[in-house]
């Protein structure tokens, strides 16, 4: 065949394209399980950090297998809820078949557009008490921001948080991930149950009007847009979880009432039958 002909050039180019495409497809298929394993381990490490089981730095030193083992040890249950706060499906927590909800971008769109949602709830056992960990997701200055927030057993007090980003500015917006002092501010803060549209605030310069003192943290200096994006993400997702949170708070209040009633009944019983008073 004439190597200088157009036919040869077309055939040669086509062959090269096919070979390169086949190589890339094979590489993608080969690497995908490893990539998926890395993503799963990274997601779990973020949740474990938010829940206070370890630091992100220490977890980064562990293998994927060790991170999954740690998760299997401390997770009680994991499930999906709908917009009414009702459980609609379980997520597998067994070591060999751990399931995570990794479609946060889709769920974020569904929340905003009023579509059906499948929101994950991860319940961990820490010191004999349940910790509830939920995700948040939204838009920062240059790309997505996301994270996990851990709540106490009543689901109204924050016990920890961890945030990440795709492409925020190093030294500024990237501090939502890099600076532990920013995340530490969330510990002990409360969710504003009375205002589902503005359940929590990241504020700049004190406490503006309408902001509850125990439901806010300080923004990062020089990272106004990233903090606004993260604030919006937190508000959007906490509003979506609010029905579930209120169910947990109501259940806790009922349990407290039952305990108080039992104690009063117990005291009353002894008062009526105290032999020294008879």
Q: What is the pLDDT of residues 131-168, one digit of tens each?
A: 999 999 999 999 999 999 999 999 999 999 999 999 99
> Residue 217 falls within a domain, yes or no?
yes
> Residue 127 falls within a domain, yes or no?
yes
Long-range contacts of residues 35-40, Cβ cutoff 8 Å, at least 24 apart: 37/64, 38/64, 39/102, 40/64, 40/68, 40/98, 40/100, 40/102
Tell me which residue range forms the domain holding 144.
Answer: 76-264
> Residue 37 falls within a domain, yes or no?
no
Q: How many independent structural domains does the chain possess? A: 1
The region that residue 155 occupies, defined by phi over 0 for left and psi between -120 and 50 for alpha, beta otherwise, is left
The mean pLDDT value of the chain amounts to 88
206 has pLDDT over 70: no
Residue range 235-246, pLDDT digits in tens: 999 999 999 999
Tell me what pLDDT residue 14 has.
Answer: 85
73 has pLDDT over 60: yes
């Amino acid at each position: 065949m004439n190597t200088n002909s157009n036919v040869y050039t077309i055939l040669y180019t086509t062959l090269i394209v096919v070979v390169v495409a086949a190589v890339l497809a094979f590489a993608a298929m080969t690497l995908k399980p490893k990539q998926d394993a890395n993503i799963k381990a990274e997601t779990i490490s973020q949740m474990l950090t938010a829940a206070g089981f370890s630091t992100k730095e220490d977890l980064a030193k562990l293998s994927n297998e060790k991170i999954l083992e740690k998760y299997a040890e401390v997770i009680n249950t994991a499930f999906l809820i709908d917009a009414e706060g009702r459980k609609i499906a379980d997520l597998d927590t067994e070591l060999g078949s751990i399931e995570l909800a990794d479609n946060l971008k889709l769920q974020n769109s569904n929340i905003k557009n009023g579509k059906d949602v499948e929101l994950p709830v991860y319940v961990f056992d820490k010191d004999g008490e349940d910790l509830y960990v939920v995700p948040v997701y939204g838009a920062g200055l240059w790309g997505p921001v996301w994270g996990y927030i851990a709540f106490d057993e009543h689901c109204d007090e924050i016990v920890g948080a961890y945030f990440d980003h795709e492409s925020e500015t190093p030294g500024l917006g990237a501090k939502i991930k890099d600076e532990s002092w920013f995340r530490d501010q969330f510990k002990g803060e409360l969710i504003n149950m009375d205002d589902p549209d503005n359940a929590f605030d990241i504020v700049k310069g004190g406490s503006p009007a309408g902001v509850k003192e125990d439901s806010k943290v300080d923004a990062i200096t020089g990272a106004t847009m990233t903090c606004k994006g993260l604030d919006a993400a937190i508000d959007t997702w906490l509003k979506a979880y609010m029905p579930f949170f209120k169910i947990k708070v109501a259940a806790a209040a009922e349990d407290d009432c039952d305990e108080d009633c039992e104690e009063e009944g117990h005291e009353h019983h002894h008062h009526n039958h105290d032999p020294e008073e008879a």
